[in-house]
Structure 1
Amino acid sequence: MPPQKSLQAFLATARAALTAPPSKRTTPLHFVLGNESADLDSLCSTLFLAYIRSHSPPHVLHIPLCYLPRDDLSLRPEFAAVLKYAAVTTDDVLTLTELPGGDNGLKPEDTRWLLVDHNVMTGSLGQTYGSRVVGCIDHHDDEGKVPADAKPRVIQKCGSCMSLVVEQCSEAWQALAKREEDDSNTGKDALPIGSQLAYLALAPILIDTANLGNKDKTTTHDERAVGIAETRLRAGFESGSGSGSGGGYDREAFFAEVAALKEDVSYMSFRDIFRKDYKEWEEGNLKLGTSSAPRAFAFLVRKAGSEDAFAKELEKWCEEKDIDVMVLLTTAKDDGEFRRELLIWARGGKGVVDAVKAFVEKGGKEKLGLDTWGEGKLDLEDGGEGWRRCWTQERVEYSRKQIAPMLREAIKGVKKS
């Protein structure tokens, strides 16, 4: 049985396997890949799942690949903070920047891909390696692209994808913890790796469910996964390890720390705010771009200086990404109440405008509980060629997971004019 490694040592092994020259590369390489928004759920799920699968029978190395370039890690201070609890830094993780290219590039047939927090490989990776997907664990709508006989093939609704990952890995995690009990390499001031992994598991679940307090997002999967992770964490502290890790675990304090870092975009440029949590899809010759921001439109407008200045910043992002339909979703917690807002900007010509208007007028507005934001100061009517609306969203249970598929369906078959 291979020796159990710290998360840092595991990532070093994965890096060596990924960056080895072609002549010394052991193939096929097995990857775990989160989705292209690379939010906390995707990033932590990728690391957690790759570590557990690599340390469970048949002990095949799984390389955790963060779906973003290395420079973009700086936009995710919440991820850096969580990594510290697992005794690693962002320098240790693997990103698209480390993926071999050119003459050293990976042939599709020399790879296997396990998707987490999505079930369709998108972007340039999807074009190259999409046919090499062997499984998925996801909580989005099933797009029918992962083979029916794939293992694992888990697609279920819950607040955080990490909750499904924890459930799928719970027995292997328990076995890992038992192996570690007598490990003399565990220092008295360090938490066992099984407990360090608990912090990776807890962070996205607590963030995505508002500390299990958002009744519209929290499911029994999430509650069960938090219970499993906290049991592992308590076991680590009770074993006498981790005396140098703060003396214990406080869920409220941990959640508050991570949430504050995730929500602080005051120091970011607008381009960074829009790309921090960005996903896009192509429907025919149209591109649907979606950004999620953790602050309300009122904050964003104040930051820009005016509604017009904010709209110009968003327009620059749309032009950079060549977006035909732009969706900006905001979340905020005011006076203890969770709120959502939504902006949709149809930019691809009259046909696109008509399709998006029809989506709103024929049920989307009522279904999502949309009401005009700021007396229409962010709205735009541009002779039928461009159309923008901004709303408050009463039905807060609808997030990008539901809204993006609805809009994709609305613009399906529409041609850019």
Structure 2
Amino acid sequence: MAPQKTLQAFLATARAALTVPPSIRPTPLHFVVGNESADLDSLCSALLLAYFRSHEPPHTLHVPLCHIPREDLALRPEFSAVLKRAAVTPDDVLTLTELPGRDTLKPEDTRWLLVDHNAMTGDLNQAFGSRVIGCIDHHDDEGKVPLDAKPRVIEKTGSCMSLVVKQCEGTWDALAEKNDSPENRLINRQLAYLALGPLLIDTSNLGNKDKTTARDEHAVAVVEARISAVTDPVLATTKAEEGYYDRADFFDEVSRLKEDISQMPIRDVLRKDYKEWTTVEDADDGGSGLRLGTSSAPQSFAFLADKAGGEGAFVEELERWSASKKVDVMVVLTTHKDESGKFIRELLVWARTGPEVVAAVKKFVDAEGKEKLGLSTWGDGKLDGEDGEGSWRRCWTQANTAKSRKQIAPMLRDVLKGIKT
């Protein structure tokens, strides 16, 4: 087994593999990539999985790729905070900006391992979709990754990181046992913080009973054991804090940064956690399929409307964003806590491109929304709207808070199947 590197040294090796001349680049080049929403779970899972895959036999370098342009890293201060605990910075990670162009990186010279999704999307899918060799994911199985792929792990958990920790646990143990030096214990503590961030965020500090599974609890126990195994003056702000760790404090720090969108314009709020699907599999008769766009925001629609300058101004901002993404259906999902501390979900769905799309979205509301999601009109209909040309928009408060984008997006994709533009 190869000697254990720091995360920073590993990322430097990965960067070098992308920047060397194609004639001496490793072939095939293996990538690990999260989904295009690039939330904390996707970003950290890709880093940790690539790190341990590269350290286990046959020691094939796996390059972790953030599924966003470099400029979008600035929209994710929670990621920067977790990276700091892992002794790296956003400058160390690799993004779509660093991915070589098709003139120097041929699809047939690559292999792709998906994490936190099991169907490649967007521009990456157009170029490299046929080169996917496996996945580790906690969403619904979309049937895109071959059944004989290795690894092919699709299991419902609160955080995909829980599955990554389970997949890598044996390698991690072997590395730690091979060299139990203070330096190695520090490296493993840093890696543990990388894992812990999304584990706590996605399960609300293991307190969300609708999301937290035994697999999540096991993963937290594994990484906390690595954190407590060493005192770390590098991470301490005072001598007295060497080795200090408090789960609640760490969770509060990361969640506060994740939820603080006060300085972001509405467009940045919508693009921070954006994910899109195209129903291309339904377009075999000359149509182009439909585009479903989804944005998640960690504040209420009242907050977003106030930030935009009123409900009408928010709708105008949403229209501009939807038009720029050329989506047929735009979905915005919000989460927040009310004054009593109660967790609240809200949902807006906008069918934008014709009567067939409107009819399909209404079918979703009638068949799924009212009963399964517990939808009730938000704000006396202030964000609702429709016109005679095939545009229909509704906003609701969602009583069933257990249903997130993981469940709602597949519901909408099902009713949109077969419609062509």
Q: Distance in 1 between matches of 2:96 and 2:384?
A: 37
Q: Distance in 2 between matches of 1:147 and 1:78?
A: 34
Corresponding position of 1:260: 256
> Is residue 36–residue 68 contact of structure 1 (8 Å, CA) maintained in 2?
yes
Corresponding position of 2:308: 304
Corresponding position of 1:207: 201
> Is residue 65–residue 94 contact of structure 1 (8 Å, CA) maintained in 2?
yes
Q: Does 1:316 align with 2:320?
A: yes
Superposed counterparts of 1:13-28, under 5 Å = 13-28=13-28
Corresponding position of 2:161: 162
1:325 counterpart letter in structure 2: V
- Shift of residue 109 of structure 1? 1.4
Corresponding position of 2:219: 225
Corresponding position of 1:404: 409
1:349 counterpart letter in structure 2: G
> Is residue 2–residue 56 contact of structure 2 (8 Å, CA) maintained in 1?
no
Is there any run of 5+ residues in structure 1 with no aligned partner, and where? none
Residue 396 of structure 2 aligns to a residue in which SS?
Answer: strand
Q: Distance in 2 between matches of 1:365 and 1:60?
A: 50
Residue 231 of structure 1 aligns to a residue in which SS?
Answer: helix
Identical aligned pairs, as a percentage?
A: 68
String of CA shifts for 1:192-222, please: whole Å, max 9, x gaps: 1111111111100110111111111111111
String of CA shifts for 1:251-278, please: whole Å, max 9, x gaps: 0000000000000011011111000000
Aligned residues: 408
Q: Distance in 1 between matches of 2:247 and 2:46?
A: 22
Q: Does 1:413 align with 2:418?
A: yes
Corresponding position of 2:144: 145
Counterpart of 1:287 (choices 282, 285, 291) is 291
Q: Does 1:55 align with 2:55?
A: yes
Q: Does 1:358 align with 2:363?
A: yes
1:125 counterpart letter in structure 2: L
> Is residue 353–residue 384 contact of structure 1 (8 Å, CA) maintained in 2?
no
Q: Distance in 2 between matches of 1:176 and 1:153?
A: 24
Q: Does 1:42 align with 2:42?
A: yes
Q: 1:164 to 1:81 in 2, by over 3 A?
A: same
> Is residue 368–residue 411 contact of structure 2 (8 Å, CA) maintained in 1?
no
Superposed counterparts of 1:46-125, under 5 Å = 46-104=46-104, 106-125=105-124
- Shift of residue 101 of structure 1? 0.7
Q: Distance in 2 between matches of 1:108 and 1:271?
A: 33
> Is residue 32–residue 63 contact of structure 1 (8 Å, CA) maintained in 2?
yes
Q: 1:87 to 1:94 in 2, by over 3 A?
A: same
Corresponding position of 1:235: 229
Single out whichever of 385-394 and 241-250 deviates more from structure 2.
Answer: 241-250
Single out whichever of 17-26 and 117-126 deviates more from structure 2.
Answer: 17-26
Corresponding position of 2:286: none
- Shift of residue 5 of structure 1? 1.1
Single out whichever of 223-232 and 169-178 deviates more from structure 2.
Answer: 169-178
Superposed counterparts of 1:123-138, under 5 Å = 123-138=122-137
Q: Distance in 1 between matches of 2:132 and 2:111?
A: 6
Q: 1:243 to 1:267 in 2, by over 3 A?
A: closer
2:312 counterpart letter in structure 1: D
- Shift of residue 362 of structure 1? 2.4
> Is residue 85–residue 235 contact of structure 2 (8 Å, CA) maintained in 1?
no
Single out whichever of 276-285 and 43-52 deviates more from structure 2.
Answer: 276-285
- Shift of residue 3 of structure 1? 2.6
Residue 112 of structure 1 aligns to a residue in which SS?
Answer: strand
CA RMSD of aligned residues (A): 1.4
Is there any run of 5+ residues in structure 2 with no aligned partner, and where? 284-288
> Is residue 56–residue 171 contact of structure 2 (8 Å, CA) maintained in 1?
yes
Runs of at least 4 residues off by over 3 Å: 240-246
- Shift of residue 241 of structure 1? 6.7
- Shift of residue 102 of structure 1? 4.7
Superposed counterparts of 1:164-183, under 5 Å = 164-182=163-181
> Is residue 176–residue 194 contact of structure 1 (8 Å, CA) maintained in 2?
no
Counterpart of 2:386 (choices 381, 385, 404) is 381
Corresponding position of 1:390: 395
Q: Distance in 1 between matches of 2:150 and 2:123?
A: 24
Counterpart of 1:196 (choices 190, 195, 204) is 190
